[in-house]
Amino acid sequence: MDYKAIAQKTVQEVLGYTQDTSGWKVVKISKITVSSKASRKFHGNLYRVEGIIPESAAKLSDFLYQTGERVTWDKSLQVYDIVHRIDSDTFICHTITQSFAMGSISPRDFIDLVYIKRYEGNMNIISSKSVDFPEYPPSSNYIRGYNHPCGFVCSPMKENPAYSKLVMFVQTEMRGKLSPSIIEKTMPSNLVNFILNAKDGIKAHKTPSGRGFRHNSHS
């Protein structure tokens, strides 16, 4: 399987979502806006989440994919491990989610191809898409979910480059026997919580007791 080619195609799809302005419906708004539209990939929604993060785009994108630190702030995950590294910007991750919606959605596991692409103007995209990876077949412990092209788009705020605009695209097929209405009810709040948790995680790293940004990976 040509993982690099898949990664490059996925990041182009995520870039395309940033330029797609039609058909979005705002489903939740606060300081963080969640919009959705019907996914073209499966019978579910593509979500777009937008928020402002008090960190530079370069540091924010590093922070979002650091495996060793991710589960310390991302309350939606119990496991986030790199299981195969293709090159410095491309790797395969195994994640296991927490249960959510008060236990009505049980943990899922995912095998995702993650790719970081840096653009001019300090915009970075971290794309991810589920792939088959024979070393990590589905197990009977978890329902194996599937992420259609997803991504984080980190770009500096023009008026203050020490802050970033984070736009997140998510289209996750939970699989199993879940009613679509349960997912539609719970997903917007979960996505808002992700951004809030990321802000808290960054703040914790900036305090004197924080350990600073560093790379941590499991090959």
Domains, the chain, with CATH or none: 3-203 (3.30.530.20)
Residue 39 or residue 101, greater confidence: 39
Nearest-angstrom CA–CA distance, 77 and 144: 14
d(C-alpha 175, C-alpha 165), whole Å: 31
Does 204 or 111 have the greater pLDDT score?
111
Q: What is the pLDDT of residue 211?
A: 47
Distance CA 59, CA 177 (A): 39
- Residue 217 clears pLDDT 90, i.e. is over it: no
Q: How confident is the model at residue 183 (pLDDT cuts 50, 70, 90)?
A: confident
Q: What is the pLDDT of residue 214?
A: 44
The tens digit of pLDDT for each residue in 7-37 reads 999 999 999 999 999 999 999 888 899 999 9
Q: What confidence score (pLDDT) does residue 104 get?
A: 80
- The Cα 63–Cα 83 span in angstroms is 18
Q: How confident is the model at residue 207 (pLDDT cuts 50, 70, 90)?
A: low
